[in-house]
Structure 1
């Protein structure tokens, strides 16, 4: 298990946790200001930087969604069974 802290221009401080299990890596990213946490699972062979970037993008999206800046996607009726 690895823990890291980074300062991201859009977010400020972001806390990361990486847990490797078999061929997968679980990444947890936390914004301590908004107390928002996201989790994603990636390929173990993917670089740490790419997993961090994916986690940052998801964290920014979730923070904006919770603030009402992003409208949730509406399912299309033709996709329903």
Structure 2
């Protein structure tokens, strides 16, 4: 398992903000500045919230940094997923 705060060797910053009975968790990839946000119950374990945010960030990075898996559309606008 990767060390906490890392994602495939990437440094990740987690920010937790409690809003009533829920927690807003932002995960930011330091190298790219890419950010994702999740929310969960305030009683949830911090490690569980970090894990969910890290997986969402990994998915976002795979989508944005992996254009070799996408086919450009005719006319140069967008990609076919």
Alignment TM class, shorter chain as reference? 0.7 to 0.9
Deviations 1:54-81 (A, max 9, x none): 000000000001123677xx8xxxxxxx
What's 2:28 paired with? Answer: 30
What's 1:53 paired with? Answer: 51
Cα 1:24–1:70 change in 2 (3 A) is farther
Q: Distance in 2 between matches of 1:70 and 1:61?
A: 13
Q: So what's the TM-score if we normalise by structure 1?
A: 0.72
Cα 1:65–1:48 change in 2 (3 A) is same
Q: Tell me how far 1:11 sits from its aligned partner.
A: 4.1
Q: Tell me how far 1:7 sits from its aligned partner.
A: 3.9
Aligned residues: 67
Q: Tell me how far 1:34 sits from its aligned partner.
A: 1.3
RMSD of aligned alpha carbons: 2.0
| Structure 2: gaps of 5 or more residues | 71-80
